């Protein structure tokens, strides 16, 4: 109703659904008769709380510079949780996700009825809760909290994408799935590739990536772990949610390494990786490194 939101040019780039802080403050002053100083403070709070996000470099302050903003609900990306504004109080979705799994898991725990899961009203409730990820404060998380949060989010995003778009069936579809499937988290878009390689593997190269995923000016660089965590490979896409992250990663590593197949945990410094993994194995003995063909089959019951 305000004519504040619209298309604005910065150089040769047009920014849709954008506005400046000064435009928003000016309209509210005129329409609501509010004090400018108070409006600028409120605008900064809304920005900090991720109701809106900056589209250009930061200026002197909200309502003063010509920096462009957009509402979170107008995010142009195809993130699965975009298109809505998150509620004021982020909600806990872990119990709901576990409830959803318990209803659709086979008796032996090996297969999941994804068709029934996609039709469940609990899944629709989860989709609404996923919107709350837009306003998560990532910079305040500890290393352990980042591990637990991003591993859980990665696994939930894989399932969410599977239910919405179906499982990829060939290499091209798999590449697109992991490169483009995304959530809007804390005002930034994170794809599956981003979470695994940009965050959990300390901004290392992923599949088909020639350059490091984070640039020095990328705000997401502050979220990345300082060093890669090799044990994440025992947890990603295992379709379980985790809280006590370090002990559960070690248990997952021990369970996997005790099977006959064995594994290579990460590329690069193989010995360094096994130094991290060996303490998780009850009877490590002599480890033989072999390379196996990856099994891309799903655990769907259909």
Alpha-carbon span 215 to 221, nearest angstrom = 7
217: exposed, middle or buried (C-beta count within 10 Å: 0-12, 13-18, 19+)?
exposed
For residue 284, the model assigns a pLDDT of 54
- The predicted-structure confidence for 152-186, as pLDDT tens digits, reads as follows 899 889 989 988 888 888 888 888 888 889 998 88
Question: Residue 273: which pLDDT band, with cuts at 50, 70 and 90?
Answer: very low
pLDDT at 120 over 80: yes
Instruction: For residues 129-142, give the mean pLDDT.
Output: 86
Looking at every residue in the chain, the average pLDDT score rounds to: 75
In the chain, where the domains are located: 6-74, 77-302
Cβ-contact 173, 181 below 8 angstroms: no
pLDDT at 274 over 60: no
- The predicted-structure confidence for 219-251, as pLDDT tens digits, reads as follows 777 888 888 777 777 777 644 444 456 667 767
The CATH code of domain 6-74 reads: 1.10.10.10
For residue 14, the model assigns a pLDDT of 81
For residue 203, the model assigns a pLDDT of 75
């Amino acid at each position: 109703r305000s004519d504040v939101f619209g298309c604005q040019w910065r150089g040769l780039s047009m920014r849709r659904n954008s506005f400046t802080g000064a435009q928003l403050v000016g309209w509210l002053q005129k329409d609501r008769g509010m004090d400018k100083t108070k409006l600028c403070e409120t605008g900064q709070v809304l920005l900090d709380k991720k109701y809106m996000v900056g589209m250009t470099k930061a200026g002197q302050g909200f309502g003063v510079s010509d920096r462009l903003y957009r509402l979170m609900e107008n995010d142009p990306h195809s993130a699965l949780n975009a298109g809505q504004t998150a509620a004021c109080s982020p909600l806990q979705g872990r119990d709901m996700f576990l409830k959803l799994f318990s209803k659709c898991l086979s008796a032996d725990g090996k297969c999941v009825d994804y068709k029934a899961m996609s039709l469940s009203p609990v899944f629709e409730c989860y989709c609404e809760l996923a919107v709350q990820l837009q306003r998560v404060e990532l910079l305040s998380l500890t290393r352990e909290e980042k591990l637990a949060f991003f591993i859980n989010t990665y696994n939930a995003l894989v399932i969410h994408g599977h239910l919405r778009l179906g499982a990829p069936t060939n290499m091209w579809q798999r590449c697109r799935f992991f490169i483009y499937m995304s959530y809007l988290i804390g005002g930034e878009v994170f794809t599956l590739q981003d979470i695994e390689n940009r965050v959990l593997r300390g901004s290392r190269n992923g599949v088909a990536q020639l350059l490091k995923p984070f640039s020095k000016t990328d705000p997401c660089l502050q979220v990345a772990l300082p060093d890669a965590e090799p044990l994440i490979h025992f947890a990603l896409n295992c379709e379980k949610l985790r809280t006590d992250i370090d002990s559960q990663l070690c248990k997952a590593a021990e369970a996997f390494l005790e099977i006959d197949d064995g594994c290579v945990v990460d590329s690069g410094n193989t010995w360094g990786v096994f130094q991290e993994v060996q303490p998780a194995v009850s009877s490590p003995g002599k480890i033989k490194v072999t390379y196996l063909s990856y099994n891309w089959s799903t655990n769907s019951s259909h």
